[in-house]
Structure 1
Amino acid sequence: MTIGNLLKEYRIKAGKTQRSWIGEIISPSFYSKVEKGLSRISAEDLIELLRRNHVNLASFFDEIDYQAKSNDALEKEIITQITDAYYDCDLKHLKEIKQTIINSTFADKDELLLRVDSVLAIIEQTTEKLSSKEKSELKSKFFNAENFDRDTITIFLNFMYFYDFGSDLVITKKIFRQFKNSNAEDTQFIVLGILINMIEMCISENKYTDAWELIEMSKQVPTKPITCFSKMLLLILENLLNYHDEPKQVYIDNCQKEVEQLSLIGMTELSKSCQKMIDENIKTTN
């Protein structure tokens, strides 16, 4: 069954008009053509449409004739969905994505499954359940690389915690050297994410000299709308480092302001995680 036919079938079962089904995602005239098979909907809009209408992704994709659409575009969107679900700690969505991949005919099916299984392991704190082969495959993608691309550094951002501290530090510095002058804002966002994870590891390992070096590296990445979120997290980390060097209440107050901002913009789980990190560091310092 084609995507258009299947969307129409699901819409009618839900008892919705085309306009109520699509909301503001795409125009009614364009959607009408999608249902008739006259236009092709993008992978991003398709998944947003399914999520808006509470359609199970795995069930929907299982019914599609995969030869009727671009697997490559869907693979890229699946990777984006995995990343988003990781930051939202959305286990339900990740499990739906996993079932979608299992039912698919993606060329990189095994690699996509490795990605989603690794993310699930991180969130559920069951990384020890990953096989030695899986961990080796993840590590080999990055440590031996001389040149990285956007996809590679995105994977590394999500799976840094599978490596030892020394390997992570080496790879992080390699990536920063390659992309520090990049003008691509999405790449800058990923590089900052890697630096943030690495600084957190440094604090955990009491590697404060390395942490300060990474803080200075992060300041070389411009502050833009897309990097504001990352810069907020970096301010928390920098103030924690200042507190470690000189335990003054002002540094903790600065951290609390950023945590409150994260909560206000809807990053509830992340704000809780940051608060926990702050509390742990106060105990350690005192």
Structure 2
Amino acid sequence: MTIGEALKKSRNSLGLTQSQFAHDVVSESFYSKVERGINEITATDLLKLLQVNHINIVDFLAEIEDETNNNLQEDLKIQLLDAYSSRDKEKISKLNKKIQKSSCSTDVKISSLLINAVVNDKVKDLNVREKNQIKKRFLEVDEWTKNITTLQLFCNSMIIFNLDELELLMKELEHTYRENFGKYPFNIQRIIASICINYFHNCYTYSKYEKASIGFKLIDRLAKIPDLGIYLIVTNFYRAFFNDNQRKCKEILNFLDENNLREVSLRLP
């Protein structure tokens, strides 16, 4: 039994609502996601919850799944992230099969499924149930917009979302990086810029040009440094394209071609 499941069992036995059980230790929203295995509660807050609800700590711990299983899950998570960082396709594929058959949490299994699909270029091959699980993960996990691994996975899996879903997630990104975006680490800015470019392409695919404004806001906040220049150039192309400025589009495409960036220009509308 997981911590969330054990907490829910204890709460139900006391006849308390989630708000009553959470007291002022954590917010009701946060606690609700702890029960569902979406959020992880700190040891300090867990002990506080048990104390304010007069729950015997020893009895509670006995309800939780064996420590060996927890350690196994953490070990698999670390191995998976390490393999993802090095783009070890074979190792990721093997780990994913092991994780899917293990007692790991649903969240870990979904993450593994997505990582395997992205690295092995199988995102399009995911079935409807798998795609819905992945979508739900992005919509429910707290602060996914600040996690560089999750951002990279989102960037590589945008194909499974429809435009309305993408717009919702883009609004979360825009809200998170509303202030001082240009001062964030380069890798964060680069990944979000890539997400914006993918989003513009989806706006083009769905012929919903007006929805691109969210991405433009983010791009306009990028640090004005040479390493991010290509994203600004491609964004200027989409601005011109969405405004039916054919002359400007042609100028940008010619510029890309003349500077040995034809691989970029070929991807544009």
Both proteins in one fold, TM over 0.5: yes
CA change 1:276–1:133 in 2 (3 A) is same
The C-alpha deviation readout for 1:128-170, integer Å capped at 9, x for no partner, is x322221121011122345333133332222121111001011
2:220 aligned with 1:219: yes
Identity %: 14
Question: What corresponds to 1:276 in structure 2?
Answer: 266
Preserved CA contact (<8 Å) 2:163 2:202: yes
Matched length: 188
Question: What corresponds to 1:55 in structure 2?
Answer: none
Preserved CA contact (<8 Å) 1:141 1:152: no
Question: What corresponds to 2:253 in structure 1?
Answer: 255
The partner residue of 1:241 within 221, 239, 242 is: 239
Q: Structure 2: how far apart are the matches of 1:172 and 1:262?
A: 31
Q: What are the equivalent positions in structure 2 for 1:1-286 lying under 5 Å apart?
A: 73-82=78-87, 94-95=89-90, 97-99=92-94, 101-102=96-97, 110-119=109-118, 123=121, 127=124, 129-145=125-141, 147-148=143-144, 149-150=146-147, 151-181=149-179, 182=181, 183-185=183-185, 186-224=187-225, 228-229=227-228, 231-243=229-241, 245-248=244-247, 250-258=248-256, 261=259, 263=261, 272=263, 274-278=264-268, 281=269
The TM-score, its normalising length taken from structure 1, stands at 0.53
Preserved CA contact (<8 Å) 2:76 2:95: no
Q: Structure 2: how far apart are the matches of 1:260 and 1:81?
A: 34
Shift of residue 210 of structure 1? 2.1
Preserved CA contact (<8 Å) 2:92 2:116: no
Q: Structure 2: how far apart are the matches of 1:259 and 1:234?
A: 16
Preserved CA contact (<8 Å) 2:118 2:157: yes
Aligned AA (1:169): E
Q: Structure 2: how far apart are the matches of 1:139 and 1:110?
A: 14
Counterpart of 2:224 in 1: which secondary structure? coil
Shift of residue 201 of structure 1? 0.9
CA change 1:74–1:258 in 2 (3 A) is farther
Aligned AA (2:140): N
Preserved CA contact (<8 Å) 1:180 1:221: no
Q: Structure 2: how far apart are the matches of 1:143 and 1:220?
A: 24
Counterpart of 2:251 in 1: which secondary structure? helix
Q: Structure 2: how far apart are the matches of 1:189 and 1:106?
A: 36
The C-alpha deviation readout for 1:152-201, integer Å capped at 9, x for no partner, is 33322221211110010111111221134353312222222221211111
Shift of residue 106 of structure 1? 11
Q: Structure 1: how far apart are the matches of 2:210 and 2:176?
A: 22
Shift of residue 237 of structure 1? 3.6
Aligned AA (1:97): I
What's the Cα RMSD here? Answer: 3.5
Preserved CA contact (<8 Å) 1:71 1:106: no
Aligned AA (2:139): F
Shift of residue 233 of structure 1? 3.3
Preserved CA contact (<8 Å) 2:110 2:134: no
Aligned AA (2:85): T
Unaligned runs of 5+ in 2: 1-71
CA change 1:184–1:137 in 2 (3 A) is same
Shift of residue 71 of structure 1? 5.6
Q: Structure 2: how far apart are the matches of 1:100 and 1:203?
A: 37
Unaligned runs of 5+ in 1: 1-66, 83-92, 264-270, 282-286
Preserved CA contact (<8 Å) 1:135 1:162: yes
Aligned AA (1:277): R
